[in-house]
Amino acid sequence: MKQMQITSMKQFMNQLLVADTFESFLLEEAVISTACTFHIDGHVNQEFFGGDGDSSEKDTYEFRPWGKVKGLCFDLIKGKRTPLFFRFVLHLMPDKAAALLEKENCDVEPSEVKALVLNIRYDGSKATLTTGTALNSFHLSKMPDAIWDKALRKFLDGKGIAYEELD
């Protein structure tokens, strides 16, 4: 688990809420506190799409893709006043997570890794990113954590997102 503090908020917020930078993530949860507090549960309600046989609208993931909800989050955040607080819990899409772990020859089977998680927390003045790994069962290996930490740093560097690592 690594923590990184964003050093260029305006640029980061543009990457997060406007650009397609985080399109490879799913939203587990969002909490946004402005004039009131909004809670978004990212779990997909498959019954919403009905049983009419049209599977083109159904999501194949447990959580909603970030690209399909970031506009709503942007609308809740934008304005003359900055939010008091927000938190997003994102998961790297399962196929991308499995591909990353396989590419790096992880000693834990990709099917044992439930999620590679990115927590984004803004406290009113600064944003902090925290990595995490959720496993389906207990493993002594910390290799999935190390792979995810390294991959996220490479991702942020590649997108030009400025940060500093915290202890």
**pLDDT tens-digit series, residues 100-147:** 999 999 999 999 999 999 999 999 999 999 999 999 998 899 999 999
How many CB atoms sit inside 10 A of residue 32's CB? 21
Please report which confidence band the pLDDT of residue 59 belongs to, taking 50, 70 and 90 as the band edges: low
- The reported pLDDT for the residue numbered 133 is 97
Give the Cα separation of 113 and 2 in Å (integer). 18
Per-residue pLDDT for 52 more than 80? no
Residues in Cβ contact with 130 at an 8 Å cutoff, skipping those fewer than 6 apart: 1, 2, 3, 4, 118, 119, 121
> If you average pLDDT over residues 42-46, what whole number do you get?
91
Residue 113 φ/ψ, nearest 5 degrees? -95, 110
**Which tens digits make up the pLDDT trace of 68-99?**
999 999 999 998 999 999 999 999 999 999 99
Per-residue pLDDT for 51 more than 70? no
Give the Cα separation of 34 and 98 in Å (integer). 36
Per-residue pLDDT for 19 more than 80? yes
- The reported pLDDT for the residue numbered 81 is 92
- The reported pLDDT for the residue numbered 55 is 56
Output 60 or 149, whichever has higher pLDDT. 149
Please report which confidence band the pLDDT of residue 58 belongs to, taking 50, 70 and 90 as the band edges: low
Where exactly are the structural domains of the chain? 3-166
Per-residue pLDDT for 57 more than 60? no
Please report which confidence band the pLDDT of residue 54 belongs to, taking 50, 70 and 90 as the band edges: low
